[in-house]
Structures are given as structure tokens and as C-alpha cells.
Amino acid sequence: MSLNPCDAAFTARLESLVPGVVSVADPRHLTELRAGAVGQAGALARPRSVDEVSALVAACSDARVGIVPWGGGTGLVQGQVMTGGVAPLLLSLERMTRVRMVWPTENVMICESGLTVLAAQKAARDHGRLYPLSLASEGSATIGGTMATNAGGVNVLRYGNARDLCLGMEAVLPNGSIWHGLKRLRKDNTGYDLRNLLAGAEGTLGIITACSLRLFPLPGREATALIEVASPAAALDLLAKTLDVFGNSVSAFELMSGVGLDFLAEKLPEIQQPFSPRPDWMVLIDIGLGQGGIDPEEGLARLYESAGLTSRALVSKSEADRQQFWRIRELIPEGNRRVGSVLSNDISIPLSLIPGFLYRAGTAIRALGPYRINAFGHLGDGNLHYNIFPPIGRKKEDHAQDKGKLTRLINDLVAEFDGSFSAEHGVGRVKVGELEHYGDPAKLVAMRAIKQALDPKGIMNPGAVLRG
Ligand SMILES: Cc1cc2nc3c(=O)[nH]c(=O)nc-3n(C[C@H](O)[C@H](O)[C@H](O)COP(=O)(O)OP(=O)(O)OC[C@H]3O[C@@H](n4cnc5c(N)ncnc54)[C@H](O)[C@@H]3O)c2cc1C
């Protein structure tokens, strides 16, 4: 079913319907941060309430005008920018930033979708509670955007991803109706779970306007260790031992490769490296123990001994140490960006198969040429960023034509290893073809039926996740 453009006449109608919310879309809202993809939109709407969102969506539905929801613009798969097709209305939640209510004793907080993750963390902390979602983009990424993409980040191992942190939701469905689902219940088996459907739908089934979020006690004390490991297999052994010792007190278990550390040394030489010479592989372990538990630093030191390790290791002695260790991990993507990858992948693989995958993928890629590979990321979640870089002395532009071939090679292997070609970042518009290629046929039929049932005119985020 074809859509109509968000043209001047329609924009004027929106303005008379909901005064003071519609303006011209500016580059900030139209450009994807990392890839620099530039989208288009007939207008930008910045509603202030769920009723205004509802009125805007109902008008778009009547006129068959597409809507692209916009949170903080930090998505990496062009879900929030539409580079082709009929000009849509861009709908930003940036004015809906209220913390509506906090129940510290229930460990629940209701936030509007435009609130940044960082602001939500602070609101929880102000009540002596933890909102554990944490990702490098948290200063801009929003509650609505992270829920719409079911974002992960560095604390998934202990607290789960965005969907796991959501108890209830308020959303505007594609016909403009409001779903008042802001329950704060942990048990509610009353039919289909719309919350879990909208979480991860990337704005294709409705606009999330507020969420009730799970909070947690603040961790008593936290400690972080950087430990050299001989190989990914050794890192997995250490992960198992760490979980045996600390159980669900392990917040993060991150893998870093020597290649990533080399890139840091090359592009950000001012950053102090933890070990010299640089190791081939290293893990960052973060634990947070409840009040009155064993001392986490002592615990990490004991873990090192009981795991029989002899490699180089650093255990934090202060918050400043922790931050310094994390800074290394968080700067790895920046080092990558400065080198310039031919292809970046955000994959997940069943944990025990990761060493085999890395071996097979590395062998296959090296057979094609002397590419450099930086595999790093949330090992504890089985989620790796598997990034491929041009050989030394060459630029990513020199290898632009290799991208398709490398994508197929990696994603075929991911499928063979029963993994996922998109662990955290979603499908957006970039990976629609991959979903069609690798998605389970029955699941795709069900997804299209759900889309058709909830959004028969196809106005919600056209072309994202499923082809329009
Ligand atoms: C430096 C950096 C680090 C990152 N690290 C991680 C990481 O560790 N883990 C991870 O999972 N991701 C990561 N990301 C990706 C990104 O931050 C997440 O996908 C994030 O969830 C997007 O939130 P946002 O508010 O910016 O949404 P946007 O980018 O604006 O939108 C993302 C998608 O959600 C839709 N959407 C936005 N708001 C709503 C809403 N209210 N209702 C319905 N649909 C909506 C959009 O249409 C789009 O499809 C990173 C990105 C950057 C730039």
C-alpha cells in the first residue's frame, strides 16, 4: 500500500491540529552518528505529551503518511533515519523527559521515552536505586530508543537487556490509540504480551511514550580487573570460573584483543596502556557485591589464584582505577573508528562455540587477504563486535568492494554456528536483507502478519525491519 509524503499541506494540517510541535527537520535529526547516513523527512514533530503523540499518529494514519520515531539518534542500523522512499514525518520524543514516579521500595520507576539513559540512571540513584542499563551512548540514547531496540550494553550479564528491565509500557499504536500499559507488576499473565512485542520492534509497531522500569539496590562495592588471557578459549574458562565464584554479582565480562589495543596505541597514543608489551587477549571483569559481602577486590585477587593464572593482571584499588580500566574498553570503538573498518559486525554465538567461530572466521578472512581483525565485546553475553580492517597501509575505501563478500562470509558462519547476525543493534534498514536471508521462514511469516494486523497501512517506520 503506497504512502503519501509529509508535504507542506500536511505539515500545516499537523500544525493546526497540535500547535507548536512541528518544525523543519534539521541535520541533527537526519544524520546517523557513526555511519554518517543522511535521511530525509518532510517535517519534524516534537510532541510534549502522549495525547499529542496520539493526535499526530492518528493524523498520519488518516493521511497515510509514514512516521519515523526518533529517540536520541544513536542507533547504528539506520532505524531512525530514512534515506530513501516517500518523505515521512520524523517524530522525536525529546520533549517527553519526565520521571513520572519512583517507588524505591518497589524498585520501580516510570520514565517518559525521551529521557536519556544517563538521566534515568541519575533519577534512580537520587532515590538510592540502580537503573542498570549502561552503554557508551547513554548520554544521548533514550529510554524509548533503548527499549525500541532492546539495547544491551555492559551490564547484561547481571541485569539483562532493556526488555528485561521493562515491567510496563505506554505506547501509541499505529491507528493513534493509546495503550495504557504502565503496570508495575512482576506477574501479569493476561494474554499476549504487547510490551515484549514493542520492545525490540524498532518503532515499526508503535511509539513507546513511557516505560515502567525495574530498579535494583545499588551495588555495595564494585571492583574491576584487567587480566591477560592466552586465547578466547582461556577467556571462556575464566568466565565460567568467575561465574562459579561470584554468581550473579558479575556485572560485566568483556573481551579485548591485542589488535584493538594496537589501534589504540596507534590512534590515541596518549592513552596509557595497562600492559607492556601489549597482550594478544585481555578480559575486563567487573563485579559489584551487595553490602556486607566479601571485599570485591580481595575476591578478584582470590579468583586469579584459584583459577591458577600466571598471566599479567591488574585489580582496581580505587574508583579511579576502575574508571581507568573501563576507559580502555570504552575507547576501543573510537580507535576502530579512527582506523576505519571495512566491515563491522555485532554478532552473538553460543558461548562454548566462540573459540571455534573465531578460528574459522579468522582463517577464512585471511585466505582472502591480509585484513586485520578486531574481535572484542561482551563475551559474557556471547556478543562480539567482529570488525574487519584493511591491511596495513590501506584505507577502508580501498576495500569498499569487499564488503558484500565479507558480510556473506561472516553471516554464513554465524548461521552455521547457530548465532545471530545482530545481537544488540537491531535490524533497522541496514540489515533488512540479512533478516530476509537468515530469518526463520515461519518467524518471518508471523512477523509480517503481526505488522499487517497492527499497522495495515504500513505507516510506522516504513522499510525498517521488514521491507515495506
Ligand atoms: C558510541 C555508541 C555505543 C553504543 N553501544 C551500544 C551497546 O553497547 N549496546 C547496544 O545495544 N547498543 C549500543 N549502541 C546503539 C544505540 O545506542 C542503541 O541502539 C540505542 O538503544 C538507541 O537509542 P536512541 O534513543 O538513540 O534511539 P534512536 O537511535 O533514535 O532510534 C533507534 C530505533 O528505535 C526507534 N525508536 C526510537 N525511539 C522510539 C520510541 N520512543 N518508540 C518507538 N521506537 C523508537 C527508532 O525509530 C529506531 O528504529 C551504541 C551506539 C553508539 C553511538
Q: Which helix (H) or strand (E) segment is 17 a member of? A: helix 8-17
Check if the beta carbon of residue 149 is closer than 8 Å to that of residue 163.
Answer: no
Check if the beta carbon of residue 409 is closer than 8 Å to that of residue 365.
Answer: yes
Q: Which pLDDT does position 322 carry in this prediction?
A: 94
Check if the beta carbon of residue 411 is closer than 8 Å to that of residue 334.
Answer: no
Q: Which pLDDT does position 262 carry in this prediction?
A: 96
Average pLDDT value for residue range 420-437: 97
pTM of this structure: 0.94
Amino acid identity of residue 155, one-letter, is: N
Amino acid identity of residue 43, one-letter, is: A
Nearest of 252, 254, 264, 251 to residue 232 by alpha carbon = 254
Nearest protein CA to atom 49 of ligand 1, as residue: 79
Exposure b/e, 209-238, CB count within 10 A at least 16 = b: bbbbbbbbeebebbbbbbbbbeebbbbbbb
Nearest protein CA to atom 2 of ligand 1, as residue: 137
Please check the confidence at residue 36 and state whether its pLDDT lies above 80. Answer: no
Q: Ligand 1, residues 74, 112, 425: which to mutate, most atoms within 8 A of Cβ?
A: 74
The label of the residue with cell 561470584 reads 246
Longest alpha-carbon distance in the chain: 71
Share of the chain above pLDDT 90, in %: 90
Q: List, in order, residues 6 or more apart from 116 with CB less than 8 Å away.
A: 72, 97, 138, 139, 140, 141, 142, 143
Binding-site residues, ligand 1, Cβ < 6 A = 33-34, 68-76, 79-80, 93, 113, 135-137, 140-142, 144-146, 148-149, 151-153, 202-203, 207-208, 333, 424-425, 428, 461, 464
C-alpha cell at 324: 581507568
Q: List, in order, residues 6 or more apart from 340 with CB less than 8 Å away.
A: 389, 390, 395, 396
Å from CA of 426 to ligand 1 middle: 9
> What is d(CA 34, CA 409) in angstroms, rounded to the nearest whole number?
23
Nearest protein CA to atom 44 of ligand 1, as residue: 203
Q: How confident is the model at residue 227 (pLDDT cuts 50, 70, 90)?
A: very high
Compute the Cα dihedral for 399, 402, 404, 409 and give only its sign.
negative
Nearest protein CA to atom 41 of ligand 1, as residue: 144
Pairing of strands 281-289, 221-229: antiparallel
Please check the confidence at residue 294 and state whether its pLDDT lies above 80. Answer: no
Please check the confidence at residue 291 and state whether its pLDDT lies above 60. Answer: no
Please check the confidence at residue 385 and state whether its pLDDT lies above 70. Answer: yes
Nearest protein CA to atom 11 of ligand 1, as residue: 151
Share of the chain above pLDDT 70, in %: 99
Mean pLDDT rounded to a whole number for the chain? 95
Q: Which pLDDT does position 290 carry in this prediction?
A: 60
Check if the beta carbon of residue 168 is closer than 8 Å to that of residue 106.
Answer: no
Least confident of 9-13, 134-138, 294-298, 302-306: 294-298
Exposure b/e, 364-388, CB count within 10 A at least 16 = b: ebeeeeebbbbbbbbbbbbbbbbbb
Q: Ligand 1: which atom is nearest the Cα of residue 153?
A: 8
Q: Ligand 1: which atom is nearest the Cα of residue 68?
A: 47
Please check the confidence at residue 410 and state whether its pLDDT lies above 60. Answer: yes
Q: Which pLDDT does position 307 carry in this prediction?
A: 87
Average pLDDT value for residue range 436-446: 97
The label of the residue with cell 581483525 reads 373
Q: Which pLDDT does position 292 carry in this prediction?
A: 59
Nearest of 208, 219, 40 to residue 112 by alpha carbon = 208
Å from CA of 277 to ligand 1 middle: 36
pLDDT digits (tens, 9 = 90+) for 166-212: 999 999 999 999 999 999 999 999 999 999 999 999 999 999 999 99
Q: What are the strands of the beta sheet with 43-45, ordered from one edge?
A: 22-23, 43-45, 89-92, 67-70
Q: How confident is the model at residue 293 (pLDDT cuts 50, 70, 90)?
A: low
